[in-house]
Amino acid sequence: MVVAGQDPVLVGENHETVLAFSATSYNIGHRSVYSLQIHLVLVTKYRRRVITAPMLQRLEDIFRATCQKWRCSLVEFNGEADYVHLLVSFPPDVQVSKLVNNLKTVSSRLIRKEFATEVARFYSKPVFWTGAYFVASCGGVTVEELKKYVEQQATPRL
């Protein structure tokens, strides 16, 4: 992990320079230095208020374990009776859509199995999450800061 304010980090065969913007830390991969996070919101099918406190705790455990299998980390988690919020950090080779699909599939299957009685009061079919989801990238710098940084770079002499 690289902390902002330190000297630039050199990575890769050609030792490309990676600058520390205003983000607090970066992850170091085999050939990359990165800081990738998404904010993910999953909503229960038909917005039914099915999630109980024990279910919410179990969902956190399921999401944490699933993220770990994907070499990701669950940074923050919370939710209410009809939706959950996840803040996930992930490496650059992970496809967000595949990660989200797996998080939804695994959690739905396990919750329906472990809380069968509670879930059956709301759903007669094997469903838990709506087909859609909300995802937004989030990071340590704003688009405006990145634009300013790129604009200030020296142009090569022709």
CATH number for position 51: 3.30.70.1290
Is 120 found in the same domain as 70? yes
Give the span between the Cα atoms of 3 and 121, in whole angstroms: 49
Write down the pTM of the prediction. 0.79
Helix, strand, coil percentages for the chain (3-state, nearest 5):
35, 25, 40
Is 7 found in the same domain as 27? yes
pLDDT tens digits for range 46-101: 999 999 999 999 999 999 999 999 999 999 999 999 999 999 999 999 999 999 99
Is 66 found in the same domain as 41? yes
pLDDT over threshold 70, residue 158: no
Is 92 found in the same domain as 109? yes
Is 157 found in the same domain as 101? no
Range of the domain at 52: 36-138
* Residue 105 token pair: 């599939």
Give the span between the Cα atoms of 24 and 139, in whole angstroms: 10
* Confidence grade of residue 22 (pLDDT, cut at 50, 70, 90): very low
pLDDT tens digits for range 120-157: 999 999 999 999 999 999 877 777 887 787 778 765 66
Torsion, Cα 136 138 144 147, to 10 degrees, reads -90
How far does the chain reach from its first CA to its final CA, in angstroms? Answer: 38
Is 21 found in the same domain as 98? no
Is 124 found in the same domain as 47? yes
Count of domains observed in the chain: 2
